[in-house]
Structure 1
Amino acid sequence: MSEVDVAIVGGGAAGMVAALRAARNPNLTVVVFEKSTAE
């Protein structure tokens, strides 16, 4: 597994804004986790 600098839990409006702001830094690796509705 790769190292991640920033992990955002939740892909709602606030999570996406946080991820976008973090992703502007080219030195950071950002991942967004969203719950799945699949069973």
Structure 2
Amino acid sequence: MEAIPEITSYEDQAVDAVVSVLNKAREALGERQTLKQFA
């Protein structure tokens, strides 16, 4: 790895976790309902 601050890797892990949760929620609720909520 290059000289990347540890904070960046922690942020990347946080983003990955959020995306994972959103993907699971999207699958559970259905994409149409999700799109209606965010539209």
TM over 0.5: no
Q: Which has the higher contact order (CA 8 A, sep 6+)?
A: 1
Structure with more helix by fraction: 2
| TM-score, L = length of structure 2 | 0.36
| TM-score, L = length of structure 1 | 0.36
Structure with more strand by fraction: 1
